[in-house]
Each structure stands twice: as C-alpha cells, then as structure tokens.
C-alpha cells in the first residue's frame, strides 16, 4: 500500500459515513432534541431562580451533552454489522485502526458537532454568563471527541451482543469521570473568574493520548467481538 | 535442569490438572481463612484497646481496610489474568479473570457499606463526595461493567475475552480517575499503614488488621478455586475428563 492509496481510502470512508448520516437526517436531530428537552426539564425540577440555574448551568449542559452522545453511540457500528460491511472493513488491506478512526470522526461530526453548535443556546437557557460560553465551547469541543473515542472502544466490545444500550452506559460513564471533572472544572473556574487554562490543557493532553490509542484499542476490541 | 517451574505452570494451565489442584487446596485455604479471620476478629474486637478519639467505633477498620485493600488487589489480579488471557489465549486465565470479578465486586460493596457505617458517627454523614469514596464507587461500576459484558455474550469464551479487554482498559483508567478525583475533592484520611517504614498505628491494633488482610487473601483464593472449578466443569461439559468425574461421582 502506498501513501496516496491510504489517503483515498480514508476520504472514501469518511465520505461514505457522512453520506449515510446525511441520508438519515432525522437521526442527527434526535440527540439535539434530547439535549434541549433535558435542559428544559431542569428549571421545572429545580425552580426558575436565576442564581441557582446560573450556578449549575455549566455542569448541566456538560452532562446533558454527554448523555445525548451516549444515546447516539449505540448506533455507531450497528448498521455496518447488520449489512456485513464491517467484516469487509476488518478484512481490507488498509489498517483497521485508521479506518475506524475515520468512522469515529464521522460519528463525532454527525452527533457531537450539532450538540456543540446548540450548546450556547442550552447554556443561555440556564442563564450562563455570556463571557463563560467560549470556555464552555472549548471544554465541550475537547471533551466530546474524548467521549466519542472512549465510546467507540466500548461499542466495538459490545458489537457481538444484543441489547447493549444499558450495558454501554454502565461501562462508559465510569470511564468518562475524568473528562467530566476537567471540563466542568474549567467552566466553573471561568465562572468564578479564576484561571481556567489548566483543566483545558489536561483535557487536551488526554485527547491527544486518546486519538493515538483509542483507534488501536477499538480495532483490537472489534477483532475480539467479531470472531466467534 | 531448572525448567520444572515453567513446565509445572504449563501443566497447571490445563483444566483437568487445575481442577484437581484447586480441589486439593480449596479446603485448606478456606480453613486458614476462617481460622485467621476468627483470630483477627478476636484480636480486633476484644484484645485491641479502644481508640482515644474514636472510642470503639474505630473497630470497623478491621473489616473496612482489609476489604478496601482486597477490592484493589483483586482488580489487579483480574487485570493480570485478563492480560494473560488476551495475549496467550489460555482458557484458565479467562476463567480466573471472570470469576475474580464477582468476588472483587463483593469486597468493593463491603468497603462502601462499612465505610458509610463508619462515616455516620465520625463525619456525621453516610456518604460524602470525597475522592476515595468516589473512586471506590467507580471501581464498583467497573466491576459491574466487566460482569455485565461477560454475561452479554452467548459464547462464554468470547464474552470472557471482551470483558478481559474491558478490565485492562479499566486498569489504565483507575489511576487517572483516582488522581483526577483527588484533585477534585478530598476529605478521607491518608493511609495509616506503611509497608516501608513506621506505621502510624500501635502494634496492638496493627496485628489484627494484618491478620485480617491475610485471612481475606485466603478467602479470595478459596472462593476463586471453588468458582473456577464450577466454571471449568460447565465450560468443558462435553470433554472426557468431566465425564470421568461425573461417572466417579455417580458411583455409590
């Protein structure tokens, strides 16, 4: 395999997944609607006091986005397993980890990006100060790929099972505790006027590590889950 | 020459040999666990003096600390077995890893329960969002995830391999969770027992604690042997050696 071949394969993979997602545009809207509705429930449950909502806004938006992503995570490989194209991908001469990386990227673009776009709206529904919103967006844009990468490994592990939804939540949520702590820590620090760069840098470091390791782990997990 | 150790280990990896080996050791391990546990409980609850500050309430340490230690020790053991299972695809290692998980989860649960019982009189609350408590809770969820994933597969060996992979991911993640949570919030006291150097505890209180730690290790071994034997029988159901055992047991 020479280099241009690999690049062509990557773009083809990415284009295929994005086209498939675009053909089912309704599915893209679902996590966004879910996040909107969950955020809307918080003022009902806690009361419409501005100061209280302001204090919890950052954390609520983060957790809501994570849960919305979890909802969509289940479908990452399911259609490809059903029609058998994942097996073809495993047998393809291109490195599986790279191809899966492209699939994860496509999944992130179709589920997390709309959530990040809508996050300012969610945050201002809870009266998060406008000055903090850029920090929230930065934290989200580092934490969501981390979640997609972690999630992809676990989805690959459950690829051979049926009814994996709750199991996925049970496995993923403990693993993303650090991401939540650092992302929420950055937002809270920004809200109190403290320096918020350190947790963001921690997140970025974790993301760099995950970008390198998670596709490899995902490929290994998929090989385990698919061979019977 | 001196290659009998690898040879013996290699032999031990075969299910029938391990079945006999575990069957022979299991009663001894259980007896030792019960004996040491009884001694430790007597030493801890009767012989050891009351704490000058906490009074008798501190005595729950003789359950709490050994099970907390076991919750991490078993996770490490499970991780090592999982690694062996994934790399060398040894059936016995899969069984050991998967049968360690429920024992570890039980110890983690005991740690959380005794901790909250202890927290009520000392901190005035059953639960607090402290670093150590939270990471112990995360550990419990990791155990439950491994157990859940193992049972989600129809093919047991495939399930064991997938769950072993999850256990290894967990091992990488546990220190990260621990440090991030530490940075987040801390109330729990530091460690009292120090392996290298002076422990911050009088010998009267220390020896029952150490004895209990030893007892829990033996209990783990006994429980693991018993579970692994049952699992091996179920897994190797159609094999000749199992049939032989069944035929022997059927004889009056």
For A180-225, the pLDDT digits (tens) are 888 988 998 888 888 888 889 989 999 999 999 999 999 998 888 8
How far apart CA B203 and CA A200 sit, in angstroms, is: 47
Contact call for B145 and A167, based on CB within 8 A: yes
Q: Which two tokens stand for residue A116?
A: 């990040």
Band of pLDDT at residue B216, cut at 50, 70 and 90: very high
pTM (predicted TM-score): 0.85
Q: Is pLDDT at B225 greater than 90 in this prediction?
A: yes
* Distance to chain A for B194, nearest Cα, Å: 28
Tokens 């490809």 correspond to A80
Q: Which of B156, B77, B83, B74 is nearest to B109 (CA)?
A: B74
Chain A CB contacts of B144 under 8 Å are: 170
Tell me what pLDDT residue B194 has: 54
Tell me what pLDDT residue A4 has: 58
Contact call for A228 and B155, based on CB within 8 A: yes
Contact call for A161 and B152, based on CB within 8 A: yes
Chain A CB contacts of B155 under 8 Å are: 228
User: SS3 of B154, please?
Assistant: coil
Tell me what pLDDT residue B181 has: 67
Lowest-confidence pick of A106-115, A193-202, B8-17, B136-145: B8-17
Q: Is B177 on the interface with A (CB under 8 A)?
A: yes
Tell me what pLDDT residue B196 has: 52
Chain B CB contacts of A160 under 8 Å are: 153, 158, 162
The widest CA-to-CA distance across chain B, in whole angstroms, is 64
Tell me what pLDDT residue B2 has: 67
How far apart CA A14 and CA B174 sit, in angstroms, is: 33
How far apart CA A143 and CA A180 sit, in angstroms, is: 8
Q: How many CB atoms lie within 10 A of CB B139?
A: 25
How far apart CA A76 and CA A78 sit, in angstroms, is: 6
Greater pLDDT, B132 or A73: A73
Q: Which of B144, B158, B169 sits opposite A153 (nearest CB)?
A: B169
Q: Is B144 on the interface with A (CB under 8 A)?
A: yes
Contact A173, B141 (CB under 8 A): yes
How far apart CA B249 and CA B23 sit, in angstroms, is: 14
Q: Is pLDDT at A163 greater than 70 in this prediction?
A: no
Tokens 């806004």 correspond to A57
Band of pLDDT at residue A55, cut at 50, 70 and 90: confident
Strand pairing partners for B55?
B51
Contact A114, A31 (CB under 8 A): yes
Band of pLDDT at residue B200, cut at 50, 70 and 90: low
Band of pLDDT at residue B190, cut at 50, 70 and 90: low
Neighbouring residues of A78: CB distance < 8 A, sequence distance ≥ 6: none
Which value does ipTM take for this structure? 0.82
Mean pLDDT for chain A? 88
Q: Which of A164, A221, A228 sits opposite B165 (nearest CB)?
A: A221
Contact call for B166 and A157, based on CB within 8 A: yes
**Average pLDDT for B171-178:** 76
**Average pLDDT for B49-55:** 74
Chain A CB contacts of B180 under 8 Å are: 177-178, 181-182
Tell me what pLDDT residue B1 has: 55
């Amino acid at each position: 395999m020479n280099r241009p071949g690999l690049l062509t394969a990557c773009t083809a993979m990415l284009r295929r997944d994005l086209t498939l997602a675009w053909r089912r545009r309704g599915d893209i809207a679902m996590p966004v609607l879910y996040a909107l509705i969950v955020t809307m429930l918080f003022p009902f449950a806690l009361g419409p006091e501005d100061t209280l909502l302001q204090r919890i806004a950052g954390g609520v938006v983060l957790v809501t986005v994570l849960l919305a992503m979890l909802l969509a995570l289940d479908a990452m490989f399911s259609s490809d397993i059903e029609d058998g194209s994942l097996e073809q991908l495993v047998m393809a001469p291109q490195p599986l980890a790279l191809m899966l990386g492209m699939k994860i990227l496509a999944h992130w673009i179709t589920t997390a990006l709309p959530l990040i776009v809508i996050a300012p709206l969610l945050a201002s529904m809870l009266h998060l100060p406008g000055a903090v919103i850029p920090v929230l967006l930065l934290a989200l844009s580092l934490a969501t790929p981390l979640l997609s990468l972690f999630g992809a490994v676990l989805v690959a592990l459950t690829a051979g099972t049926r009814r994996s939804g709750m199991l996925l939540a049970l496995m993923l949520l403990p693993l993303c505790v650090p991401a939540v702590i650092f992302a929420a820590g950055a937002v809270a620090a920004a809200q109190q006027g403290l320096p918020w760069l350190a947790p963001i840098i921690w997140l970025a470091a974790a993301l760099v590590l995950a970008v390198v390791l998670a596709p490899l782990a995902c490929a290994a997990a998929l090989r385990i889950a698919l061979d019977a | 020459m001196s290659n009998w150790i690898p040879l013996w280990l290699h032999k031990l990896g075969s299910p029938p040999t391990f079945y006999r080996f575990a069957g022979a050791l299991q009663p001894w391990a259980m007896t030792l666990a019960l004996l040491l546990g009884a001694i430790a409980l007597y030493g801890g609850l009767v012989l050891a003096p009351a704490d000058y500050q906490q009074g008798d309430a501190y005595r729950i340490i003789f359950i709490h600390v050994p099970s907390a230690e076991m919750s991490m020790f078993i996770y490490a053991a499970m991780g090592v077995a999982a690694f062996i299972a994934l790399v060398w695809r040894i059936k016995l290692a899969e069984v050991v890893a998967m049968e360690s998980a429920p024992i570890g989860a039980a110890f983690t649960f005991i740690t959380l329960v005794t901790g909250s019982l202890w927290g009520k009189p000392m901190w005035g609350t059953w639960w607090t969002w402290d670093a150590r408590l939270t990471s112990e809770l995360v550990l419990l969820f990791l155990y439950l995830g491994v157990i859940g994933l193992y049972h989600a597969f129809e093919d047991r060996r495939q399930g064991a391999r997938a769950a072993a992979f999850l256990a290894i991911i967990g091992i990488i993640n546990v220190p990260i969770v621990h440090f991030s949570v530490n940075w987040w919030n801390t109330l729990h006291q530091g460690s009292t027992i120090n392996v290298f150097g002076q422990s911050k505890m009088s010998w009267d209180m220390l020896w029952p604690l150490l004895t209990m730690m030893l007892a829990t290790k033996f209990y783990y071994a006994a429980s693991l042997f018993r579970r692994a034997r049952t699992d091996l029988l179920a897994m190797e159901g159609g094999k000749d050696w199992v049939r032989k055992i069944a035929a022997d047991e059927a004889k009056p």
